[in-house]
Structure 1
């Protein structure tokens, strides 16, 4: 199941701002590497039509699609959505933080900050209401996620393995394979996640 990017206007950058940033950055990275849309489509596995729509700020791509495009370009999702910090210290203001997933019951996944380059690190904050699920087809080879549950209980499934992480506990998961996060409890779930993707 692919979840669509659904940027909240309540706690960060709005839909139009993020769509325009994604369109501009995608074109910049693609042209810098002298890639045609056809070539990027073949490399990423994302249809040319979708790439055209993204570059026109007319598409609403899923996190999975953004991950495929960023991996094909050798950059991070944070760079594409324009929240990556340059080498010097930089503050990411509250209004710059995009919400890249919104669940059917009001949950959210916000990309708080990220580094650039092919070896990237991203910091996320997730909130999931009871019954919400997020599924991923997997990240590039060697990707790890560090998870810490602040409130509620996170159920994570990686391939055939399931783990329940209680509030106050942490976990490490190799997520270069299909995986799923869910809140099958009765209370709101809040957790932070660091994604480390090697070169």
Structure 2
């Protein structure tokens, strides 16, 4: 990602976390407790002084009841239809081997809804902390085979197959094969109460 893009995302994240925290009438302490991140980290994020990990952004989004797309949105206001050009899809996680996840699009109806593009190279994996109760993930493997581990139980999802699951327990996406794995995934988070 180019430096300009990273600075733009850092500024957008700062503005949007402040906005949604205020919208939800949460203090820094309350959001920190709800998200499981330190108050100091939230202050740095809201002042655009840090580029937090994807895990931290996910926790803050979950605690605020908004999608990662909303937290990283750099458009002040958009039309009813939002087109995200391929070059603007945000790569949030990657490895030296070539694995990655890209946030393709998202919306807030009725709660956060996100669409992801994932690639895992052989031997790579990505673990996810539990999401709020009611969060559902839907995925479709287009290439290779995904090893999906949910709360310690492994499931094998080959190319052409789909899976859905409640994502409120620890889960891991792995490629135990010897060829790349690709999938498209949608994540639906219940609205914040």
Task: Mark yes or no: TM-score above 0.5.
Answer: yes
| 1:53 aligned residue | 44
Secondary structure in 2 aligned to 1:14? helix
Matches within 5 A, 1:128-147: 128-147=120-139
Give, in whole Å, the separation in 2 of the partners of 1:117 and 1:67.
18
Aligned residues: 189
| Contact 1:115–1:121 (8 Å) recurs in 2 | yes
**1:118 Cα offset (Å):** 6.1
Aligned to 1:76: 67
Structure 2 unaligned runs (5+)? Answer: none
1:23 aligns with 2:23: no
> Alignment partner for residue 90 of structure 2, among 98, 105, 109?
98
Q: In the alignment, what sits opposite 1:197?
A: 189
After TM superposition, the structure 1 = structure 2 runs for residues 111-130 of structure 1, keeping only pairs within 5 Å, are 111-116=103-108, 119-130=111-122
CA distance in structure 1 between the partners assigned to 2:24 and 2:49 by the alignment: 23
| TM-score, normalised via structure 1 length | 0.86
RMSD over equivalenced CA pairs, Å: 2.2
Matched, 1:173 2:165: yes
Deviation at 1:80, TM superposition (A): 0.3
Aligned twin of 1:5: none
Q: Deviations over 1:39-79 (max 9, x none)?
A: 22122221011112212323232232222211222222211
TM-aligned CA deviation for residue 86 of structure 1: 5.8
Which stretch has the larger CA shift, 188-197 or 59-68?
Answer: 59-68
Gaps spanning 5+ residues in structure 1: where?
1-7
How far 1:196 sits from its partner (Å)? 1.3
1:67 corresponds in structure 2 to: 58
Residue in structure 1 matched with residue 99 of structure 2 by the alignment? 107
